[in-house]
Chain A
Amino acid sequence: MDFWTELDQWALLVPLFPALAFVIIGSLGERLKRFEHGGWVAVVFAGLSMVLGFLIAIGEMLGPGTYVDVHTTWFSIPASTGFPKGFSLVMGTLVDPISALMLIVVTLVGFVVMLYSIGYMHRDTGLPRYYAILSLFLTAMLGVVLADNLLMFFLFWELVGVCSYFLIGFYYAKPSAASAAKQAFIVTRVGDVLFLAGIFIYFSIYAAADPTWAASGFLFTNGNSAFLNLGVGVNSNLLTLAGLFLLAGAAGKSAQFPLDSWLPDAMEGPTTVSALIHAATMVAAGVYLLVIGSLFLGFTSIDDFAIVAIGGFTTIWAASMACTHTDIKRVIAYSTVSQLGYMVLAVGAGFAMVGLFHLYTQAMFKALLFLAAGSVIHAVTTQDLFKMGGLRKKMRYTAFAFLAGAFALSGIPPFAGYWSKDDILSSLYGQLATHPEYWPFYLMALATVFLTSYYIFRAYFLAFEGPTSREPGLADHAHESPWVMRVPMLILSGMAIVGGMFVFIPGFASLFDPALTSAAFPVTLPLNIPPSYPLIDIELSAISVVLAVLGILVAWRLWGNGRIAPLPRSRPARAMHHLLAERYYMKRAYDWIAATGAYTVARGADFVDRFVIDGTVRGFERTFAGLSQRMRKIQTGVVSDYAAYVIAGLIALFVIVLFVAPWLVSKLGGG
């Protein structure tokens, strides 16, 4: 066994390093005051994790297409009628091209964000809690990436959500932060319950189709053969349902329509958290889930269409809302939702690897944009774009970083975003001949290119260009951030500029090569090869670049050089603006549904409360007076009620057994 294969055996250590940091910071707490309240501990362990993660990824590039699965049985259940060979659950790590790529993304962004936090969070209190939970998040996210079976994937997926909840609510004294945390938790929780239901259905389908799969612990590596053994058409309705449930889980995590409203609100958390969790890693986990689903679990054509539709619609839905917001973080957050839509679109159209490629570039330039925005917020202590202006002269590094991120996001060659976004568009275009139903979503994705470059350059011009800030005195004390914040921005700027061109390095490209992914597993999937620039129609590419440049020009015309574009005069345009600023009223609709639903439940609960609970409690109070009186009360009062419940229950039982249940049995056909 050579060194690189040997290394894959130790993949467990990658998540274990931040876990150690969590334990150390969590148990020592404020005693680590000298180490920036535990910050440096977190940085060091994240660094170790990054080094190991990169080594594993390099090993994967040197030996393309290898995969190493190390696992141990967690628990097993003996054979029974449903599972002829029993089933077992395993815990283990799987190193394959996809997880190697995700290791690069997660450990790199994790490390730079930790480092950046040292400067950015310096003035806050409660830092041990921050670093401990951020380290735990990193552990959980790496667990998701390295998991070798669906159940373990789910466990870490849940843990990621919990960490996100705590970090969004980091400023829990602020009501808006606490409410945003709750909202994020509840929305993703809804998705998670559906996801779990999907897992159960996959389990039951595949365990029946291929007993060895269940017996060996639902490993991804075996799931594929189970899928193939299933044959075409068998249980396809159930399979569709499972795929839709999986999509719901992914949509909750990746903030896809209609579960998208939590992500912009999640910006209440520290900006570092937004950069790591809500731009680069956790929200991308939903896309990663869909990639895994398409590679190992199998989607039916209905699932694929649903995925394309949701992804395609989300791109333009979120991008349009980004055009009117004045909060710099929210603009970037909507942009994240929109970009995640591109990835979902690509996966649904059968280009899982292309989606992953965009996941990788987006993680780099979106984290960069957030860090640059954080640097601005750090300097001027506001998030309102309309109050900023002229910051380029005082913050050259930050302006440069933001500009690099903005070009990458807009898809201007040769920045990173160009390669991946163009790949998605041309891949999808290639499908249009056989799938004409994808046309509307292709057009939406194309139009989004224009909107994207418009809103991000609007943000850039408002914040950095022009003679001076619009709020007097705001930028007087603005200065460039310390080196711990500049270095991460420089690293990510580099990635945003050249990261996309790495695909011309053969080893790196092999991570995206579906042929090599298939080499490990018996799959035949319609995947396109990502570093496909030479293959792209040059016309298609030209169209999207022109659209992007057009967006920049419009932004410059309206907002450049410190101008503030007046609100449009015509009524339809005003109505449109209002609609976008109000987020299509979706937030209000959700609030209304929640409030009405809660009110109905509360009314029912109130009834029970008043007539059952309250009666009991009042009975309690009365009984404190005098023994004889109490005995009388008990015998004539509350207890007889309870006895009455029992008798009423008995009568209900008779009715159910004699009348309802036989009817139900005849309908349901027995057990």
Chain B
Amino acid sequence: MSLIATGLDFLPEILLLAGALLVFLMDAVGIRRIEVVGSIAVGAILFAMLLVFADLGFAPVAFLATIPRSQIDIVPAVGSTPLYWFTSLGLFFQVFFLIAAFLVALASMSRPSRERGAAVFYGMILLATLGMMLVAVASDLIFLLIAIEVVSIPSYLLVAYTRRDARSMEAAMKFFIVGALSTVLSFFGASFLYGAYGTTNLFVLASGSAISNGAFGGGGFPLLVVIGYCLLIAGLAFKITLVPFHAWAVDVYDGAPDDVSAFLAGGTKKIGLFAFFLVFLGPVLLVRGTVEFQWFGGIGAVALGPVLQVVLSILAVVTMTVGNVLALMQKSMKRMLAYSSISQAGYMFIGIAIGTAPALTGASLQVFAHVFMKTGAFLVVAAAAGLGVGPLIADWRGMGQRHPWLSVAFALMLLSLAGVPLTIGFLSKFVLFSAAIEAQGYFVWLAVAGLLNSALSVFYYGRVLKVMYFDAPERGPVIPTSTEASVPSPGAPNGRGAVSAIGLGAGGIGYARATTIALIAIVIVALGVYPGPLLQPLAAAAQHFVNLAF
């Protein structure tokens, strides 16, 4: 394959890289206004999104496609060990990642015009998005893990990019240390698998057939495989914040600047789920029992697939329950959202534990829904902080009267997170849980756990609604209690010069941010009411993905 053809395949990624380099270049020559830098980033993301849509074959833009249809959803020839492959499900995830980046990039244009670090912020967003795009096309374990690192390193920087706020700095340090540990675990696990199979190609790993080719020769050594997969679960679980690998997430989401929290919770954590799709779907579906291990008297040989399914199911239930229970007692809005994000990861994980096409559809939908709901919720928190609302849930008293439109948007996002009908959040949970019911067996209990958990989550989302609409606002002028040094109240003199023109409008929220929030609210309802256009192709893509590789 020629270099040009390969380059064309990766045109969206190249665009993002070019955008990032351009941003840094402009920073070097002294052009640092956030409107300019932000426009470049938004433009690059939008154009990349257009190209991915074209590759997916959406009618009006299909002529722009750079990847030939004949290369999408194709099983590689036997014996070939490609580093990457294009699947429609992967391309859909690329779209989800780009949407998250787009929403955050657009909303952040309402930050103060001359704020320092705009180039770092947008550059890192673009680079992290590049890494996320690569995760979605990986077909080799090492390629996948390196792509994850390409996401992680810009994420660490993003948390600390303001370089002033002590809390952000601390959050970044924690993020980095725990992140490094999980990276080590992942690579360690990969090396075990390499030891057992003699390759890191995901197809070969998925088939489980190469075990006799491993370094240990015929017969294989199943314990190596088991340890390898355990290490990989631990390493990747860090990304998607599964309990007990979640502890960093709350501090980081809480300590990071609001826009960055939106990007981390709405965007980057989703790569963990797709990584699980890639690494574990094969073994999970591998109930043929090629890989068996025999340890305990009386039980006999056990196939790896069902064992992994049980483990992933336990992780899913533990994660959603712990996330929900801890969210119940939070007083801080951002910490509540962080725990809610953890519990949502548990719902997504039901999909991988079951591993059927409808379950993958449900999990992907949940990812899509969560991109909008959680990004939106953190952006609303950012907007509210700009309006002088404090960090505690109690500080939101009377928001319904003070800022009716912002409150309606936030209420929609919370209702969607709670899974109330006619929102996208209901749809994704419905598909997910009905897939679990359909899978029969003990998976039905996953659906039951999910249902009980969503009933539980109504309490803490409902509490926020009650505070916003039923509790009377405090008397007297509201004192700005924003602890977010990086987001000063737009319009208020802040000693750092003019506020950007974009930052002034829309009732103090900023036009760009207000537009983003409105867009998110509309999508949550519109796709909740009429999900057909998304659901059909996504379900088809999931079916392809399951049929294809494994």
| Chain A contacts to B: CB under 8 angstroms | 73-78, 80-83, 154-155, 158-159, 169, 172, 189, 193, 196-197, 200-201, 203-204, 207, 601, 605, 608-609, 612-613, 616, 620, 623-624, 630-631, 634, 638-639, 641-643, 645-646, 648-650, 652-654, 656-666, 668-671
Contact = CB atoms under 8 A, between A and B. Distances in A.
Contacts of B237: 649
Interface centre among A169, A172, A609, A662 (most CB of B within 10 A): A662
B21 interface: no
B540 interface: yes
Given A77-B431, A661-B310, A666-B299, A643 B177 contact: yes
Contact of B531 (A75, A196, A631): A75
Contacts of A624: 166
Given A601-B325, A608-B326, A649-B245, 6 more contacts: A81-B357, A605-B328, A642-B177, A646-B182, A665-B303, A671-B441
A393 B470 CA distance: 42
A662 B293 CA distance: 9
Nearest to B358: A80
A652 B244 contact: yes
A158 B422 CA distance: 12
Given A204-B438, A623-B170, A76 B532 contact: yes
Given A75-B427, A654-B227, A671-B441, A661 B307 contact: yes
B538 to A, nearest CB: 10
Interface stretch (B256-264, B444-452, B488-496): B444-452
Interface of B: 166-167, 169-170, 173-174, 177-178, 181-182, 185, 226-227, 229-231, 233-234, 237-238, 244-245, 247-248, 250-251, 287, 295-296, 299-300, 302-303, 305-311, 314, 325-326, 328-329, 354-358, 361, 420-422, 427, 431, 433-435, 437-443, 447-448, 451-452, 455, 458, 470, 530-532, 535-536, 539-540, 543
Contact of A75 (B305, B452, B532): B532
A357 to B, nearest CB: 32
Contact of B247 (A207, A645, A660, A665): A645
A629 to B, nearest CB: 11
Given A668-B442, A671-B439, A649 B234 contact: yes
Contact of A196 (B173, B182, B451, B458): B451
Contact of A653 (B169, B233, B306): B233
7 contacts: A77-B431, A82-B438, A169-B470, A193-B452, A646-B178, A650-B231, A653-B311
Contact of B170 (A630, A657, A663, A665): A630
B329 A605 contact: yes
A642 B248 contact: yes
Contacts of B532: 73-76
A648 B234 CA distance: 10
Contacts of B309: 670-671
Given A75-B427, A662-B302, A200 B447 contact: yes
Contact of A641 (B226, B247, B431): B247
A605 to B, nearest CB: 6
A159 B426 CA distance: 14
Contacts of A200: 433-434, 437, 447
Given A75-B532, A77-B431, A658-B295, A665 B421 contact: no
B232 to A, nearest CB: 10
Contact of A605 (B296, B325, B439): B325
B248 to A, nearest CB: 6
A648 B246 CA distance: 12
B357 A665 contact: no
A639 B173 CA distance: 9
Given A76-B535, A83-B438, A657 B230 contact: yes
B178 A662 contact: no
Contacts of B245: 645-646, 649
Which of A608, A609, A631, A668 neighbours the largest number of chain B CB atoms within 10 Å of its CB? A668
Given A646-B182, A646-B245, A648-B244, A656 B314 contact: yes
A638 B306 contact: no
Contacts of B178: 639, 642-643, 646
Contacts of A657: 226, 229-230, 307-308, 311
Nearest to B540: A78
A169 B471 CA distance: 13
Contacts of A656: 310-311, 314
B177 A630 contact: no
A650 B439 contact: no
Nearest to A152: B421
Contacts of A646: 178, 181-182, 185, 234, 238, 244-245
Given A77-B431, A82-B358, A671-B441, A662 B311 contact: no
A237 to B, nearest CB: 14
A665 B308 CA distance: 10
Contacts of A197: 448, 451
A31 to B, nearest CB: 14
Contacts of A81: 356-357
B528 to A, nearest CB: 10
B421 A78 contact: no
A203 B434 contact: yes
Nearest to A86: B539
Nearest to A186: B459
A188 B530 CA distance: 28
Nearest to A652: B244
A76 B530 CA distance: 10
B329 A650 contact: no
Closest 10 CB pairs of A and B: A82-B438, A670-B306, A649-B244, A661-B310, A662-B302, A155-B421, A650-B234, A661-B307, A642-B247, A665-B306
A646 B174 CA distance: 13
Nearest to B226: A657
Contacts of B357: 80-81
Contact of B307 (A201, A605, A665): A665
Nearest to A667: B442
A201 B358 CA distance: 17
A633 to B, nearest CB: 9
A160 to B, nearest CB: 12
A670 B433 contact: no
Contact of A77 (B250, B287, B310, B539): B539
Contacts of A83: 358, 438
Contacts of A669: 441
Contact of A634 (B174, B229, B438): B174
Of residues B167, B170, B427, which shows the largest number of chain A Cβ atoms within 10 Å of its Cβ?
Answer: B170
A657 B287 CA distance: 16
B230 to A, nearest CB: 5
A239 to B, nearest CB: 15
Query: Of B229, B310, B543, which is in contact with the most chain A CB atoms at under 10 Å from its CB?
Result: B310
Contacts of B311: 653, 656-657, 661
A166 to B, nearest CB: 9
Contact of B437 (A73, A203, A643): A203
Contact of A620 (B170, B226, B361): B170
Contact of A650 (B230, B530, B531): B230
Contacts of B296: 659, 662-663
B325 A76 contact: no
Contacts of A662: 295-296, 299, 302, 307
A200 B448 CA distance: 10
Contacts of B248: 642
A81 B285 CA distance: 14
Contact of B244 (A75, A623, A645, A663): A645
Contact of A80 (B177, B227, B356, B531): B356
Contacts of A203: 434, 437
B379 to A, nearest CB: 24
B251 A78 contact: no
Contacts of B300: 666
Given A200-B434, A662-B295, A668-B441, A193 B231 contact: no
Contacts of A641: 247
